[in-house]
Amino acid sequence: MSEGAIALAPEYAAKVRRSARTFVEKAFYLEEFYGKSLMFALVPPVGQRISDLDSLVMTIRELRRNQSRMIVVVSPSALPKLMRRMGRLAPSAPPPVFNPSQGMRSRPYPPDSTVAQIYSRLRAGSVVVVSMSRDDADDLTVFARELASRLRVFKLLFLDRGGGLIGKDGERMAFVEEKRIPRIMRTIRSKARRDLLRAADLALKDGVGSVNLVSPRYVYEELFSFVGAGTLFTEMQYGWVRPVSIDDFEEVEALIKRGQDEGFLLYRDAAQIAAILPSCFGYRIGDEHLAGICSLLTEPYRNERVGEITAMYTLTRFQGEGVAGELVKEVLEEARARRLKYVFACTGEDRAARFFARLKFRRVTARDVPRSKWRHYDAGRIAHLSIFRLDLE
C-alpha cells in the first residue's frame, strides 16, 4: 500500500468497485446511444403490471438526459399504466393509435405521414408513445418491426416476459448473429416466440442496427451493462479484430479492470495497464462496444525478439462465440510480421489454460521465457501459473 493510502474493509471495497464499474459501463453505452433513436416494443401482456414498467422508466430517464430519442410502442390496456408511471417523462400530446391490420397492404408502411408525425413529436420532446387499436401481441410485434424498419432505428428492443433466448445447455443465449436465427426458430415450439425471432430477422434485413429481446424487468441491465440480461441480435458476422485506437484506451482499461475484479486477469496497477494499452487488439461487433481484448507486449522483450500475449479478456455476453480465438489469430499474425521468435502466455485460470492448449501452445516452465518477465514477480505466484509458448521460427 502506498504511503498515505486508506485501507477499506474488503466488503466495502468490493462494493465500491462494483459501483464504479457499473457507472463506467453505463457511461460507455450512453456515449454509444447519444443522439440515436431506440424503439421499445412492449409485447402484450407486458405493461399490464406496474412492475413491468419500473426498469423501462429508469432507462427512458437515462436516455432522455443523454439526448437519445425514444419511441415506445404499447398495447391499449397498458397505455394508461405506462403514462402514469412515466409521470413528467410522458409526452404531453395524446399518443397516436394505429391499427396494423389496416394499411399493411400498401407500401410504404407505415406511410410517410406517420413517419413525419413521429419525427415532429421527437423534435418536440425526445419521447414518443404510440399505441395499438387492440391488445394483440401479433399486431404489436408486426407493427413495431414495420415501424422500426421504416425509421431505420439504431436499436429495436422487444420487451417480452419470456426474456432472452435459452440454449440447449440451459444458459442464456446472449448474442445471436442474424444468419443463425432461422435455425434457432426451428427449435422453438412457441408461435409467439417464433414470431419475435422472425420480426428480429426481418428488422435486421431492413437496416435496423440491432435488436434485443429481453424481459421488461431487466431492460436497464440489458442496455447499460457489458454482461446484458437478454439476447442481442446483429446482422454482421460476430465482428472483426483490429488494433485499438487511443480513443478506445479508456474502454479497454475498463475491460481490463473488470477482468481483474472477476479474477480472470492478474492484477495490474494504473501504470502497468497504461503500458499494455498501445499494444492491445480489440474485437468489435458492429456498432456495439468491444466484446474482447488482447495485448501483444514486446517492448520488455525487445532484445530476445519475443512477445507476450496478455490481458486477454472476453465479455461474458460473448464467451463461447470464438472471440478469443479470433483475437489470438490476429495477434499471431502481428507477431510474425514483427519477426518474433516466439510468443508466450501466462495464466492462473484453468479455462484459459485449456484454450491455449487447444491452439497448440506447449506448456513450458518459467525458465523457457525471458528472465525479465519474472523481475519483481512473487515466486509463490509463479508456482501457480500455467505458462504456454508457441514458437514462430
Residue 110: is the preceding peptide bond cis (ω within 30°)? yes
pLDDT at 1: 30
Task: Classify residue 166 by its DSSP letter.
Answer: B
pLDDT at 14: 42
Share of the chain above pLDDT 90, in %: 51
pTM: 0.72
Q: Which of 7-16, 130-139, 194-203 is least confident?
A: 7-16
Question: Which are the contacts of 197, defined by CB distance < 8 A and separation ≥ 6?
Answer: 181, 184, 185, 188, 213
**Which CATH number is associated with domain 240-391?**
3.40.630.30
Residue 27 pLDDT level (bands cut at 50, 70, 90): confident
Distance (Å, rounded) from C-alpha 204 to C-alpha 145? Answer: 10
Q: Which of 127-136, 167-176, 295-304, 366-375 is least confident?
A: 167-176
**Ranges in the chain annotated CATH 3.40.630.30:** 240-391
Residue 75 pLDDT level (bands cut at 50, 70, 90): very high
Task: Kindly calculate the radius of gyration of the chain based on its CA atoms and give it in whole angstroms.
Answer: 24
Q: Which amino acid is at 44?
A: P
pLDDT at 23: 44
pLDDT digits (tens, 9 = 90+) for 332-357: 999 999 999 999 999 888 888 999 99
Residue 286 pLDDT level (bands cut at 50, 70, 90): low
pLDDT at 41: 97
pLDDT digits (tens, 9 = 90+) for 110-125: 778 888 888 888 888 8
CB burial of residue 233 (10 Å; 0-12, 13-18, 19+): buried
**Ranges in the chain annotated CATH 3.40.1160.10:** 10-234
Comparing CA positions, the residue from 36, 92, 27, 95 lying closest to residue 64 is 36
Distance (Å, rounded) from C-alpha 355 to C-alpha 309? Answer: 13
Residue 17 pLDDT level (bands cut at 50, 70, 90): very low
- Residue with grid cell 416476459, as numbered in its chain: 161
pLDDT digits (tens, 9 = 90+) for 164-197: 999 887 888 888 888 899 999 999 999 999 999 9
Higher pLDDT among residues 217 and 31, named by residue: 217
Comparing CA positions, the residue from 203, 214, 215, 210 lying closest to residue 233 is 210
Residue 163 pLDDT level (bands cut at 50, 70, 90): very high
CATH superfamily, domain 10-234, is Acetylglutamate kinase-like (3.40.1160.10)
Q: Mean pLDDT across the chain, nearest whole number?
A: 85
